[in-house]
Chains A and B, each alone.
Chain A
Amino acid sequence: MTHEFLNANVVEIKDLWKKFQICQDKTNSLKERIIFWGRQRTEEFWALRNISLAVPKGKTIGLIGRNGSGKSTLLKIISRILYPTQGEVRVRGRLSTLLELGAGFHPDFTGRENIYLNASILGFTKKEIKERLNEIIEFAELGDFIDNPVRNYSSGMYMRLGFAVAVHVDPDILLIDEVLSVGDLAFQEKCLARIQDMQKQGKTIILVTHSPKQVEDLCELAVWLDQGGARLQGPAQEVAQAYKEFISSA
């Protein structure tokens, strides 16, 4: 992908490397750190190798690959949960990450209280949350349950509320990590519809998936990650096709 038209790119990644230190026996106590000073057996593991990527504004890009290929690590680095070992990541605009639905919910609080709590964790002000409150409640289809503590919710209700908050906080960039595979069919379809809505509104979406079909259906661009490196990147159809062939031949 080219690095021209820099202003049109909302996410830019340049020569990104990410290393994890894997300890054989994780020593986190003071005593062990002193005793085994400098003698810890750590293995280096490169989760991402030399990734460069530019995501133009308003496009949907799919990150595809097998388990452990580095897709989620890349997503976490873009969302600033992890920091790169080397390289640069630049993000323009507000970002919302769907790594796990309902992360940060407090079980004793009602659905309504949790909307405020959750949306504020995503970085939104009270006014912004208030404006979207009704829409969120409606989308989550919780009815009167909205004023019950979320510990009484079924797992489906819990996820619906989590998804509703994350997509209604009106991010410029939405990062999604395989959350589309949860929930019942009706809910999945609703999520997909919402994502297509957001695409029409010109939002940028980065989607992690291991399903080539989702890449074909939803994405315009795609990156196929393999053992931390970008094996192929380009138009979604092309990448999805190559990935499908690879999977069926393996």
Chain B
Amino acid sequence: MGQQIKQIYLYREMLKNLVAKELRARYKGSVLGFFWTFFNPLLMLIVYSVVFSFVMRVQTKNYAMFLFVALLPWNYFATSVLQGAASLVQNGSLIKKIYFPREILPFTVVLTNLINYLLSLFILIPALLIFKVDLTLALIAFPAILIIETLLVIALTFLVAIANVYFRDLEHIMGVLMTAWFFLTPVLYPIDVVPPKAKFIFGLNPVTPIIEAYRNIFYDGKWPQWDVLGYLTVGLLILVIISLVVFGRFQKTVAEEI
């Protein structure tokens, strides 16, 4: 594994260039160009605010914000996993012709979505101020929560990326699976509405405490539950190690299977 990390480091320039390529190429040729990165969350925000203030009125105070603070990190997670599943197969021609650490490809997906998520904060923070949500000192917990989420995103993205080479329909299964996962994670609703009997199942979902933590610091203005996040970090570190080992083991035949 040390060897893997060293190789990724040696190819950091490639990683940087691929991320820059993804960020720029996505909107290349469009009129607004890079600004689409901001317009996407902005439009999302407008749609949700209108729908939940005028059409479907929800009891939760400031529901648009309640949703928005959870939806952005969810999108970072879900988009990474879905794009990650395709990352190796899509770049098959490159894999067959050039050696580079294959980890770079799913890692590019993670970093690109991480940057997009960070950029969407430029929409989120003003929106929170406009909707008069109190911003507190708890916001300084953000980097910690982001790192914890990124551990989960890296582990899952690496695992689905390598698995998809051997089981191609995983890419399509993931679409359905992520939708189900979305509804089983308290993004649309508060965790309190989950019936006590089902709480145990929800407790197994590693995304739940992450989403809760984001909601704590952005929406409730309070500190996240550090003990829960602490256990989660230990678990996720183990998962990251497993994902790297599995990836390293199976990447050897990738060029033949693609």
Interface residues of A (CB under 8 A from B): 20-21, 28-31, 33, 76, 79-83, 95, 97, 99-100, 103-104, 106, 108-109, 116-117, 120-126, 129
Q: Shortest Cβ distance from A169 into chain B, in angstroms?
A: 12
Q: Which residues of B are found within 8 Å of A100, using beta-carbon distances?
A: 97
Q: Is the CB of B99 within 8 A of A79?
A: yes
Docked Cα-Cα span, A103 to B256, in Å, equals 17
- Known contacts A103-B93, A117-B17; is-contact A123 B167 (Cβ 8 Å): no
Q: Is the CB of A126 within 8 A of B255?
A: no
Of the residues A28, A79, A103, A123, contact of B11 by C-beta under 8 Å: A123
Q: Is the CB of A33 within 8 A of B17?
A: no
- Known contacts A29-B168, A104-B94, A108-B28; is-contact A80 B16 (Cβ 8 Å): no
Q: Shortest Cβ distance from B11 into chain A, in angstroms?
A: 6
Can you give 28 contacting A-B residue pairs, CB < 8 Å?
A21-B256, A28-B166, A30-B173, A31-B169, A33-B167, A76-B255, A79-B98, A79-B99, A81-B95, A81-B99, A81-B255, A95-B99, A97-B97, A100-B97, A103-B93, A103-B94, A103-B98, A104-B97, A108-B25, A109-B25, A116-B17, A121-B14, A121-B94, A122-B100, A123-B10, A123-B11, A123-B14, A126-B13
Interface residues of B (CB under 8 A from A): 10-14, 16-18, 21, 25, 28-29, 93-100, 166-170, 173, 252-253, 255-257
Q: Shortest Cβ distance from A122 into chain B, in angstroms?
A: 7
Q: Is the CB of B256 within 8 A of A82?
A: yes
Q: Which residues of B are found within 8 Å of A20, using beta-carbon distances?
A: 256
Q: Shortest Cβ distance from B23 into chain A, in angstroms?
A: 13
Q: Shortest Cβ distance from B250 into chain A, in angstroms?
A: 11
Q: Which residues of A are found within 8 Å of B94, using beta-carbon distances?
A: 103-104, 121
Q: Is the CB of B13 within 8 A of A97?
A: no
Q: Which residues of B are found within 8 Å of A97, using beta-carbon distances?
A: 97-99
Of the residues B93, B100, B255, contact of A121 by C-beta under 8 Å: B100
Docked Cα-Cα span, A56 to B223, in Å, equals 63
CB < 8 Å A-B pair total: 76
Q: Which residues of B are found within 8 Å of A81, using beta-carbon distances?
A: 95-99, 255
**Interface-central residue, A97, A99, A100, A104, by most chain B CB under 10 Å:** A104
Q: Shortest Cβ distance from B234 into chain A, in angstroms?
A: 31
Q: Which residues of A are found within 8 Å of B11, using beta-carbon distances?
A: 120, 123
- Known contacts A108-B28, A120-B16, A120-B17; is-contact A29 B167 (Cβ 8 Å): yes
Q: Is the CB of A30 within 8 A of B256?
A: no
Of the residues A28, A79, A106, contact of B25 by C-beta under 8 Å: A106
Q: Is the CB of B167 within 8 A of A28?
A: yes
Of the residues A29, A31, A120, contact of B13 by C-beta under 8 Å: A120
Report the nearest A residue to B100, measured CB to CB.
Answer: A121
Q: Which residues of A are found within 8 Å of B170, using beta-carbon distances?
A: 30
